[in-house]
Amino acid sequence: MNHTLAKRSEIAIEHTWDAYSVFPSDEAWETAVQEVQTRLQTITTFQGRLGTAASVLADFLAELEQLYAIMGKVFIYAGMFYQVDTADSAAAAKSDRAQGLFGQVAATTAFMEPELLTIGFAKLRQWLQEEPRLAIMAHKLDDLERQQAHVRSAEVEELLGLVTDAFRTAVSAHSILADTDLTFAPARASNGADEFTVAQGTINALLTHTDREVRRTAWQNYCDAYLAHKNSMAALQAAGIKQDVFRARARRHASSLEAALHPHNIPVEVFHNTIATFRQNLPTWHRYWAIRRKALGYDKLHVYDIKAPLTAVKPHVPFSQAVEWISAGMKPLGDEYVSILRRGVLEQRWVDIYPNQNKRAGAFSSGVQGTHPFILMSYSDDLFSMSTLAHELGHSMHSYYSWQNQPFLYARYSIFAAEVASNLNQALVRDYLLRSQPDRDFQIAVIEEAMSNFHRYFFIMPTLARFELEIHERVERGQPLTAEGLIALMTDLFAEGYGSEVEMDRERVGITWAQFPTHLYANFYVFQYTTGISAAHALASDILAGQPGAIDNYLAFLKAGGSLYPVDALKLAGIDMRTPEPVEKTFAVLASYVDRLETLLGH
């Protein structure tokens, strides 16, 4: 039996996202591209004039809003075709054009902040009182004043904008290698006859297969494909880190970590508290590995056994059932929330559902103000895919509420806030399933999915964050980054997390960094998965406990978008990420899952 992926052309349209809701045709997209070019020319007429009058600044902001509204749609539409078929050369060309145009927009509009600084904050705040159209700028000005030491001259800001497109080369090349050029040997079943296609869209499902030989060969062949290109990927990763260091120094930050967190007013202590709390709680993970090994009946637990099913019954969850369970899980957030979600999935085609050949790895939610939220995933009819859908719908609903309630200046929220809504959705759905589905095997499967998600967010991501900090600091010290050095560092960090309970295949474990072709190119992104899941579970506990105001405060957080700093927005919802408490509370949730699993397994 050969399990192969469908071609993109073979996917039913109702199972794809609705790219034509953004533009009705490629011709309309081309017209929009030309409009961006025209509006860029208009924007240039404001350069050197922002300080002449409050009305001029207001006119400029109105033009800027229109420019970004069209540019955002141009960018989203182009990417939607490339992301579902990275081997489509026409789609790749369109995506590349959009990225280049985005770089032009960044460069052309770079004069704004330096000119605002030249005007002066006293005069600007006076204008806010005199010109009603400028009233929305209050938070923007406060933020600019806070960051003014890191805003450079108009010429330097223009240059930093111009390098945006060129600096995407490393991450783009790494992504192309991973999503298009890597060749994975098929996984083999223990019967020696069946083969399974290993691909970005299938690897997660294969790692939950009941057949240990399928899991072993899938994991090894997946890792080996990356190892075959380890030197190229290391060179690309090094380039990405050097770009982070360059930007940090160009903006006069003390470190890449500070450069990543300062724009959103996140204290560096939040990062260090998160990592310290993670390391203190590693014994919870060690206990889980031991319980899993005993349940599987193995003398040794390998990395490819971490998601092995603990019961013979693997729940079959078709997409339609997933939507119903997610809707039921979201019921505490109110009828409006659920109806918007259902309409988006079932009528407006927010989701590109199933895997196909050359589809980009992983899952994500995208879109801009003026479009629907859109979700890319590779659904596999199981609890894991259902949870991924719930997660991405959390992002999408966060975007929806932000876009509906904020002006364009604040319509985008930070990465730090982003992972809260997604993980809260998953927490609520799991709670619903554990309450409504008493079957022992089903309960075990729900906890397995939860542990898999925690493994990614509360084990893999903080480990990658430790890795990321070290490689940034090495470059900042002038030390080289090589494939061997990256693999050795990654292996040592995972060895601490796995302890004595998990067998280490050092080379294959050590190449894990290469399997995140976008995450480690987003400066200190990965630790924010850990803070996000922490805030989410703290919030979910309040909501499920019926704490007065918990739901309204959470919805206010979603609607706030970027109008508040993320730490302050979470404080509005009742969570203080300046302390280790949310991380500690979430480790308590993790420990409760381990306890429940141990009871269900009878150990």
Q: What is the CATH number of the domain that holds 14?
A: 1.20.140.70
Residue linked to tokens 């240990």: 212
Beta bridge partners of 366: 374
Of 469, 476, 422, 431, residue with least CA distance to 450:
431
Q: What is the arrangement of strands in the sheet containing 351-352, beginning at the earlier edge strand?
A: 351-352, 374-376, 364-366
- Residue 502 in any domain: the answer is no
Query: What's the start-to-end Cα distance of the chain, in Å?
Result: 37
Query: How deeply is 194 buried, as exposed, middle or buried, from its count of CB atoms within 10 A (0-12, 13-18, 19+)?
Result: middle
Q: What are phi and psi of 16, to 5 degrees?
A: -115, 160
Q: CB of 551 within 8 A of CB of 332?
A: yes
Model pLDDT, residue 3:
54
Beta bridge partners of 365: 375
Beta bridge partners of 376: 352, 364
- Residue 113 in any domain: the answer is yes
Beta bridge partners of 301: 502
DSSP state of 195: E
- Residue 254 in any domain: the answer is no
Q: In whole angstroms, what is the distance from residue 143 CA to residue 564 CA?
A: 10
SS percent in the chain: helix, strand, coil, step 5: 70, 5, 25
The secondary element (H helix, E strand) that includes residue 142 is: helix 138-147
> What is the dihedral angle through the alpha carbons of 185, 505, 289, 317, rounded to the nearest 10 degrees?
-10
pLDDT in tens, 330-358: 999 999 999 999 999 999 999 999 999 99
Q: CB of 117 within 8 A of CB of 141?
A: no
Average pLDDT of the residues of the chain: 94
What is the arithmetic mean of pLDDT over 209-237?
A: 97
Of 278, 297, 303, residue with least CA distance to 502:
303
What is the arithmetic mean of pLDDT over 514-543?
A: 93
pLDDT in tens, 260-299: 999 999 999 999 999 999 999 999 999 999 999 999 999 9
What is the arithmetic mean of pLDDT over 84-96?
A: 94
Beta bridge partners of 53: none
What is the arithmetic mean of pLDDT over 508-514?
A: 97
Q: Confidence class of residue 208 from pLDDT cuts 50, 70 and 90?
A: confident
Asked if the model's pLDDT at residue 379 lies above 80, the reply is yes
Q: Cβ atoms within 10 A of the Cβ of 34, count?
A: 10
Model pLDDT, residue 148:
87
Q: How far is CA 500 from CA 285, 362, 532, in A?
A: 11, 30, 29
The secondary element (H helix, E strand) that includes residue 26 is: helix 26-44
Asked if the model's pLDDT at residue 242 lies above 50, the reply is yes
Model pLDDT, residue 162:
82
Q: Give the contacts of 235 (CB within 8 A, at least 6 positions apart).
A: none
Domain count, the chain: 1
Q: CB of 366 within 8 A of CB of 390?
A: no
Active site residues: 392
Asked if the model's pLDDT at residue 404 lies above 80, the reply is yes
Beta bridge partners of 503: 302
Quote the radius of gyration of the chain (alpha carbons, Å).
Answer: 24
- Residue 505 in any domain: the answer is no
Q: CB of 323 within 8 A of CB of 347?
A: no
Asked if the model's pLDDT at residue 603 lies above 80, the reply is no
Model pLDDT, residue 154:
81
Identity of the highest mean pLDDT range in 360-369, 410-419, 469-478: 469-478
Q: Confidence class of residue 168 from pLDDT cuts 50, 70 and 90?
A: confident
**136 lies in which domain range?**
8-166
What is the arithmetic mean of pLDDT over 170-192?
A: 92
Model pLDDT, residue 147:
85
Question: Quick one: what percent of the chain has pLDDT higher than 90?
Answer: 88
Q: Confidence class of residue 507 from pLDDT cuts 50, 70 and 90?
A: very high
Left (φ > 0), alpha (ψ -120 to 50) or beta: where does 252 sit?
A: left
- Residue 509 in any domain: the answer is no
Asked if the model's pLDDT at residue 568 lies above 90, the reply is yes
What is the arithmetic mean of pLDDT over 232-238?
A: 96
Q: In whole angstroms, what is the distance from residue 545 CA to residue 515 CA?
A: 38
Q: Confidence class of residue 2 from pLDDT cuts 50, 70 and 90?
A: very low
3-state SS assignment for residue 376: strand
What is the arithmetic mean of pLDDT over 391-420?
A: 95
Both tokens of 45, joined, read 């007429």
Query: How deeply is 441 buried, as exposed, middle or buried, from its count of CB atoms within 10 A (0-12, 13-18, 19+)?
Result: middle
3-state SS assignment for residue 3: strand
Model pLDDT, residue 556:
96
Asked if the model's pLDDT at residue 1 lies above 50, the reply is no
Q: Give the contacts of 300 (CB within 8 A, at least 6 positions apart).
A: 293, 503
What is the arithmetic mean of pLDDT over 562-576?
A: 94
Q: CB of 370 within 8 A of CB of 72?
A: yes
- Residue 32 in any domain: the answer is yes
Q: In whole angstroms, what is the distance from residue 543 CA to residue 294 CA?
A: 35
3-state SS assignment for residue 374: strand
Q: Confidence class of residue 57 from pLDDT cuts 50, 70 and 90?
A: very high
- Residue 379 in any domain: the answer is no
What is the arithmetic mean of pLDDT over 203-208?
A: 89
- Residue 100 in any domain: the answer is yes
What is the arithmetic mean of pLDDT over 142-164?
A: 86
The secondary element (H helix, E strand) that includes residue 366 is: strand 364-366
Between 1 and 56, residue with greater pLDDT: 56
Of 454, 389, 461, residue with least CA distance to 593:
454
Q: How far is CA 84 from CA 8, 11, 357, 358, in A?
A: 7, 11, 8, 7
Beta bridge partners of 502: 301
- What does the chain come to in residues? 603
